[in-house]
Structure formats: C-alpha cells, structure tokens
Amino acid sequence: MNLRQLALDALLLGDPALKCAAVDAMPLPAGEQTPADPDSRRLQHESLPGRCARPLLVAPAQLAQRPVSTLAGRAALFHSLAHIELNAVNLALDAVWRFAGMPGDFYRDWIGVAREESQHFQLLHQHLRAMGYAYGDFPAHDGLWEMAEKTRDDLLARLALVPRVLEARGLDAAPLIRDKLRHAGDEHGAALLEIILRDEVAHVRIGNRWYHWLCEQRGLDPLACQAELARRHRAPRPRGPFNLAARRAAGFDEQELAALQAG
C-alpha cells in the first residue's frame, strides 16, 4: 500500500496504542521513488490528528508545576514527555502524507523518525504505568501540533520551526531533566532520557538535512530564511543554556550556533 496513505491512516487513529502499532508495522521503502498522493477524502469529516478524549488540552500556563522529588511530580513529568513523543509521532506522519514531490529518502527518513518516536512513547508510558499512572491522567498542552497547523502549507517553514526550533529545545532540556531524575533516585527514568536524547539528535539532524536541501533548491540563505520564518510564524525564541555538543551533532553549523547564542 502507498506509504503516504499508511501515514495518513495512522495519523487519524485516536488510540495511542493503535497508532503506535500501525507505525511500528510500516515498511521502510527502498529506492528513490516518491510515493503517490494519498486519498484524503476522510479529512472532510475527520480532523487531524486523531485523538482520544484524554488528556485534557490546556494552555501551558495552566499546567501545574510539580517537584520531581515526589511520585506525582515524576509521573506528571513523564506524562508530559510521553505527550511530546506522541505529538512527535503525529508530526512525522504529517510530514509524510502532507508534503508531495520530495525525494524518496525524505519519506523514508520521516517514517524512521515516526517509528523511533513511537518507541519513545511506549517506553515512557511503560514507566508511567510502573508509577501507577497512565497517559491521559494529567492535562497537557499542544504547542507542537499548533506549530504544525501554522506550517501546514509550507514544508520549509515546517522544517525550520519544528525540528530546528521546537524539537531542538529537547536537546537542551534532556540533560537537565536526566540529572534531576538521577538526583531523585529514578535511574531507570534517567536512562530513558539518555535513549531519547541519542535518538533526538538524529531526528533534528534529519530536519536540518532537509531544511538545508530545500534552501539550496530554492536559492535561499538558511540563516536569513530561518529568522524570517521565525518572525512570520511567531516561533518561540530559544533560550539557553544550549547543549552545543548535541546541536553540533544534530547538524547545526557554527554560524547558526553563533546566531542562536546571540539571541
């Protein structure tokens, strides 16, 4: 079956377990052929992404801050991380079905990302269950998908602002969260953050690869284009401390890192 159709069908699934199972079963295509356009008639009466009734989605300011020194605080943290990873599954699937005309490697890359984000969600949910909670037990915010909506008609903006801004923030945050968990005695949780950080470096690198590829195709300066797209779509300004080693490994060059640190 058409890979882009499989991606759209999985994106429309509301149950996280069913969505992850569908993603885990997706083939990684060989060759350079661009998949055909999917049949998107379902979108006339279904909305993206497919969701369950829980978790309740609220504004970020409405999310309670809980210390990780408590069980409920750690559970809330892992719930937030699981929500981010599930949204990352949705974003990767959305890139596959929505944007036509890219090389075959583009679609293969993002299906690979969706698979790894699915694994992250499942690992985090297992840890959450071990603490006596489940996905949906806490409210969550929807910042990642809101940016997907803003960039739905522009692949260059999607690549500039989702992997290179929002997901790259995870490279900065993961070591800090890992260290807090270790201090709280949650060694297994800290180990999960190590896995996620390792994989997210590769995911951001894929975003960087295709962002620079599109800039080259269109004759655009990557740094100036990034700044313009961030202004146009009101992307959040990245704030330090920055994990420069991880960002370099993820494909940010020294000019980009200098601009980042200059604010």
> Average of pLDDT values for 164-173?
96
CA atoms of 27 and 4, how far apart (whole Å)? 11
CA distance to 38, 176, 184, per residue, from 180 (Å): 44, 6, 6
Q: What is the DSSP letter of 2?
A: -
Structural contact between residues 107 and 29, judged by C-beta atoms closer than 8 angstroms: yes
The structure tokens listed for 171 are: 């490279």
Q: Give the predicted TM-score (pTM) of the model.
A: 0.95
- Report which secondary-structure segment, H or E, holds 107: helix 104-130
Amino acid 87: pLDDT: 96
Residue 218's pLDDT is what?
97
Distance (Å, whole) CA 117 – CA 199: 9
Catalogue all structural domains in the chain, each as residue range(s) with its CATH number: 3-30+76-262 (1.20.1260)
- Tell me the mean pLDDT in the region 56-81: 92
pLDDT attached to residue 31: 66
Q: For the purposes of burial, counting CB atoms within 10 Å of the CB of 234, is it exposed (0-12), middle (13-18) or buried (19 or more)?
A: exposed
pLDDT at residue 249 in the model:
98
Mean of pLDDT values over 145-153: 94
Cα separation, 229 vs 147, in Å, equals 12
CB < 8 Å & 24+ apart, contacts of 240-243:
240/172, 241/172, 242/172, 243/171, 243/172, 243/174, 243/175
Name the one residue in this structure whose structure tokens are 């807090």. Answer: 180
Q: Which two tokens stand for residue 249?
A: 């490994």
Confidence of residue 66 (pLDDT cuts 50, 70, 90): confident
Give the mean model confidence (pLDDT) for residues 221-233: 96
Rounded CA gap, 218 and 54, in Å?
42
% of the chain exceeding 70 in pLDDT: 99
pLDDT category, 260, cuts 50, 70, 90? very high
64: pLDDT strictly greater than 90: no
What integer is the mean pLDDT of 191-215?
98
For position 150, what pLDDT does the model report?
A: 95
pLDDT digit string (tens) for 108-147?
Answer: 999 999 999 999 999 999 999 999 999 999 999 988 899 9
b/e per residue 158-171 (b: at least 16 CB within 10 A): bbbbbbbbbbbebb
- The SS3 call for residue 140 is strand
Hey, what are 86's tokens?
């599930």
Region 38-51: mean pLDDT is 93
